[in-house]
Amino acid sequence: MADNIVKTKQGAVRGINSEGVMAFKGIPYAAPPFGPNRFLPPQPASGWEGVREANAFGPTVPKPPYFPPFDKLLPEPVIEGEDCLNLNVWTPNLGASGLPVMVWIHGGAFANGTGAIDAYDGARFARDGVVCVTINYRLGADGFLFVGDGDSANRGILDQIAALEWVQANIEAFGGDPVSVTIFGESAGAMSVTTLLSMPRAEGLFRRAIAQSGAGHHAISAATAQKVARYLAEKLEVEPTSAAIIAVPLAKLLQAQVELSTDAFQNPDPQRWGEVAANLMPFEPVIDGDIIPAMPIVRIGGGAGANVDILVGSNADEERLFMVPNGVINYINQDILHGTLAAYGLPVEKTLEAYRANHPDASPGDLMEAIVTDWFFRIPAIRLAEAHSTGSGSTYMYEFAWKSPQYDGKLGACHALEIPFVFDTLDREGYEEMFGAAPPPQELADAMHAAWVAFAKHGDPGWPKYDQEQRTTMEFGPTSQLVNDPRAEQRKLWEGLR
């Protein structure tokens, strides 16, 4: 066998040398999800004769562009082609065996993203003795629309399972150990991780899981999903059936998806949108009673995934990504703030007192950001750790607290900022709008990346396990340190909620 050729179950692939490790890109793990395969579960990938060149990222799945300014903050490539259910592998040594494997599931609100983003380059994981895999999966209507007329629910999640099954069948040829697989993801990727953790169909496909800024609270009922499908069909001026929606030109479908998301954002009426009114994501995993039997956090609390080691956490200022660049934070007044607290079921004055104690000079917008960050990200992460910590698998908690200097320092430790620290890709293009002109601290990337590698190798990132007495949390910031029960008074306000 040539040094840069690997034989997979579908056929041979030729990789390229990348930073002293081997990279294999654009390998199909399932058939193109178009034509007769549209709106079906992932179908087996066809084999090929000879050697397939795996030297460039494959096509990305259909997705709309981000709105400004997020198109600059979170740039992502668009690569044309139908063979979009593909993955990428970085390995340190094709002659090795038994190496731990990490499989990255990207975020993007289940509507955007790709495994081909530059910050997700897996070469530094391979450098440190880990086989790294990044994947594409179907998004938006193609991945998560559920009409209920016999169409399959959760096609995007089933794609993820198909990719993990490909890893089980093929990763030994790249030096990896199929028994030592860690899945990790951020935002919708982390919500996918915890969904997989809860699913009977995913049992045995991974040993460890890392959830960055997303937990087990993001799935909608079949009834709500069917409402969303009807609203989409109305915009497309077609019948609410799979066949009618599939027949719509793809560009028109993507535009309707954007319009639907805008409607939910501008008028989040619970009577109209159900659960979507709270999280503003019309396309997300569906509790269909089969593929996803129940809300993931409920399943995990009942013991699902109890033998899997998990590392879970969030960023200190998640919501600043969604409130600072577009100026929304400046338009929050006391009335909006009080109304939000009431909607969350929090005692208004007691809550404001607790949050002002940690943010003494905060504007109403600043307080709103801190509260929404806790509601959407930090408290669900804590609930996940609490639910899992009684099982046989280990549970660890972290918080990312390094603050970006961008937007006069107001961007803070925002959503997605930790990703290039985890991958040790601070030198890659694409995050300049997040970081600014000054180089971000490489020593922080060294620390976070090493912790993720240690967890993948040994199930221990290097600090004490999480329990509900000490609540030990590793804070990654200018000075990384262990903190017991950070911002406890804020956390206690949410007891009995979420």
What are the residue numbers of the active site?
A: 187, 318, 415
Torsions phi, psi of 368, nearest 5? -60, -45
Following CA atoms 24, 26, 29, 35 in sequence, which dihedral angle do they give, to the nearest 10 degrees? -170
User: Using the 8-state DSSP alphabet, how is residue 374 labeled?
Assistant: I
Cβ-proximal residues to 67 (8 Å cutoff; 6+ apart), any chain: none
Tokens of 5: 């050729």
Q: Which residues contact 23 (CB under 8 A, 6 or more apart)?
A: 15, 16, 17, 55, 88, 89, 90, 122, 123
Report the b/e string of 381-413 with b at 16+ CB within 10 A.
bbbbbbbbbebebbbbbbbbbbbbebbeebbbb
What type of residue sits at position 383? R
**Do the strands 286-287 and 131-135 form a parallel or antiparallel pair, or are they unpaired?**
unpaired
Pairing of strands 12-14, 481-484: unpaired
Distances in whole angstroms, Cα of residue 231 to Cα of each of 28, 260, 264, 316: 33, 8, 11, 35
Give the three-class secondary structure for 347.
coil
Question: How crowded is the C-beta side of 443, counted as CA atoms within 13 Å?
Answer: 4
Q: At what angle do helices 364-373 and 348-358 cross, to 10 degrees?
A: 100
> In 3D, which of 216, 15, 231, 292 has the Cα closest to residue 126?
15
Q: Which of 442, 468, 422, 431 is nearest to 190 (CA)?
A: 422
Q: Measured between alpha carbons, how far is 44 from 326 in angstroms, rounded to an integer?
A: 43
DSSP secondary structure string for all residues of 468-491: TTT-EEEEESSS-EEEESTTHHHH
Residues 6+ apart with CB under 8 A from 116: 25, 57, 58, 60, 76, 77, 79, 88, 134, 136
Helix H or strand E segment including 310 = strand 309-315
Helices (H) and strands (E) in the chain, counts: 20, 16
> Radius of gyration (Cα) for the chain, nearest Å?
22
